[in-house]
Structure 1
Amino acid sequence: MYQERSSRLDGAVVWTRTAGGGDGPVHPVLPDGCMDLLWNGGRLLVAGPDTTAHTPDGGAGTLWAGLRFAPGAAPAFFGVPARELRDRRVELADLWGAATARRLAERVAEAAGPAAGLEAVALARAARTPPPDPLLARVVGHLDAGGTVAAAADAAGLGARQLHRRSLDAFGYGPKTLARILRLQRALTLVRRDVPYAEAALAAGCADQAHLAREMRALAGITLSAYAASAKRETPMPSGSSTTA
C-alpha cells in the first residue's frame, strides 16, 4: 500500500509505503528528478536522484516513510551536491553526523507517526537552511512544460556550460537527462489515466509511441505494458526515489 499527500514544506510530498505488504509484488521506483528523506525501522536515510529504476528493499509488511523534495530543492537542505548522491541510498548520519541523526530519529519516533515526524523534522531544518536556487526552479518549470534545454538556459540567464554544471549540483545529472526524466513522468501520468500509449507519447513530447517505449526501457528498465499492469495493481504508483535504502 502506497499513500502520499502534499507536505507543508513547499513543493514536497509526504508518503508511506508498506513493501510487499499483501498488495502484490514490490514495484520498481522510477526516476523522477527528486531526492527523499527516508525513515525505516528507526533509521534515517537519504535517497539520491535516480537515473534508472530502483527496486525497494524489505520483506512483507516493511514500512517505509519519506519526504520527497521537488527537483533541485534537496541539495540545499542536505548540504550535499546532488551529483554526490546520484543512484545512492546513504545513512543521514553520513551527511549530518551520528549525533544529529540519532537525535532526529528520536524526534521522529516520538511523533504520531513516522511520516508526520519526518515532516516536522524537515520543516524545522528548512527554517534554518538557505532556500534552493530560484534559477534552477525556473529551469525545472521550463523543462517540465516541455521546453528545450536552450530555452530553459535562456530563461535562467545561464550559458550552456553554467547550466550543466549547476544542474549536476542541483539535480544530480545534466539538464538533458532531467528533461528526459520529466518527459517520461508526464507520459506515465497519462498512462495511469488509461490514455492510449501513442496519445500519451505525443502529449508528453515524444516523437511517437516507439520513442516513448525506448525511453521507458532506457530509464525504467521495463516496458510500457508492464508498467501499466503494475499501475493498475497499485494506485497511486510510486515514482522517482520514493522508497528504500
Structure 2
Amino acid sequence: MDLPDAADVYVPQDYRERPSGIPGAVVWTRDITADSTAPVLPDGCMDLLWINDRLMVAGPDTRAHHPSAGGNPQVSGIRFFPGTAPALLAIPAHEFRNARVDMAAVWSPALHRHAIDLLTAACTPTAGLEAVARWRSTGADPVAPAMIRIVAELRAGTRVADLADTLGLGTRRLHRMSLDAFGYGPKTLARILRMQQALALARSGTPLAVTAAQAGYSDQSHLSREIKELAGVPLTHLLQR
C-alpha cells in the first residue's frame, strides 16, 4: 500500500523539505538561529535527526516543540508517515513521546556505528538519513495496512468507537496498538490530525468559521481553543507566519 508523504502542514520560513525516496517520508533541513521562534507542531509523525554530528530520534509530540541547535545552526531530518517509524527503527513510539533521544542510547553500538558510517559517507546529511532509513527497511516488517487505515479514517473524522468496530478491534486493543505505532491513543491522534487539517485550510485563505466546520470543530471558538492547547500559541499567531 502506497503511503502519502509525511509532509508537515505548518512550514516555518527557515524550513525546506522535499519528498524522499523512502515511501511515505520527506527529508528536510532547518536553519536554527537566535531569531527562530516558529515551533514544531504535533503532526503524528516521528523523525530521525542529524544535528551537531549526532543521530537522534524525535518522538511523536503532543505539544509544540521549540528547537535549539546548540553549536550547529542547521538541523537535517527525515520525517516518516504516522505509524511507520516504529517498525523501521525497531522502537515503540510511546517510549519517545515528546522527546528527542540520541540513537546511541537506543541502538546497539554496532547498529549505531553503522548508521554513523552511512551518514558520514553520504554527500549530504539528508542523503545520509535516507541511507540509514533504506538500510533499516531491509528485512523490516511491512507497515500493517490497519495503521495506514487508522490514520486515513481519523483524518476523515471517523469516531474512535466506530473505527474500532470497523477494524474488528475493541477500543482497548486499538488504544494499545496506537500507543506502539503513534505514541498516543487514537483520540489524541485524531485531535492532532484535525489541527493539521484546520491549519492547512486556514493558511489557504479559508475563513475561520468555515475552517472550523470543515475540520470538524463545533465552532470557531472550539477551533481556537484546540489550536492554542496543542500549538501553545493562538491560531492568529500561526497564520501570521
User: With structure 2 as the length reference, what TM-score do the two structures score?
Assistant: 0.90
Alignment counterpart, residue 218 of structure 2, candidates 202, 207, 231: 207
Q: What is the CA distance between 1:213 and its match in structure 2?
A: 0.6
CA deviation vs aligned residue, 1:196-222 (integer Å, no higher than 9, x gap): 222211111111111111101111111
Q: What is the CA distance between 1:41 and its match in structure 2?
A: 2.3
Residue pair 1:20, 1:60 contacting (<8 A) in 2 also: no
Are 2:239 and 1:223 equivalent residues in the alignment?
no
Q: Match of 1:65?
A: 76
CA deviation vs aligned residue, 1:34-60 (integer Å, no higher than 9, x gap): 111111122100000000000011259
Q: Match of 1:233?
A: none
Q: Match of 2:18?
A: 5
- Structure 1: gaps of 5 or more residues: 231-245
Q: Distance in 2 between matches of 1:5 and 1:145?
A: 25
Counting matched residue pairs gives 228
Q: Aligned-residue CA RMSD in angstroms? A: 1.6
User: With structure 1 as the length reference, what TM-score do the two structures score?
Assistant: 0.88
Residue pair 1:30, 1:53 contacting (<8 A) in 2 also: yes
Moved more, 96-105 or 66-75: 96-105
CA deviation vs aligned residue, 1:121-179 (integer Å, no higher than 9, x gap): 10121122111222121111100122211232223221111101111111111111100
Residue pair 2:52, 2:71 contacting (<8 A) in 1 also: no
Q: Distance in 1 between matches of 2:67 and 2:191?
A: 23
Q: Distance in 2 between matches of 1:154 and 1:129?
A: 29
Q: Distance in 1 between matches of 2:72 and 2:177?
A: 40
Q: What is the CA distance between 1:98 and its match in structure 2?
A: 3.0
Alignment counterpart, residue 40 of structure 2, candidates 29, 42, 52: 29
Q: Distance in 2 between matches of 1:128 and 1:39?
A: 24
Alignment counterpart, residue 83 of structure 1, candidates 90, 94, 104: 94
Residue pair 1:33, 1:49 contacting (<8 A) in 2 also: yes
Q: Match of 1:238?
A: none
Q: Match of 2:65?
A: 54
- Structure 2: gaps of 5 or more residues: 1-13
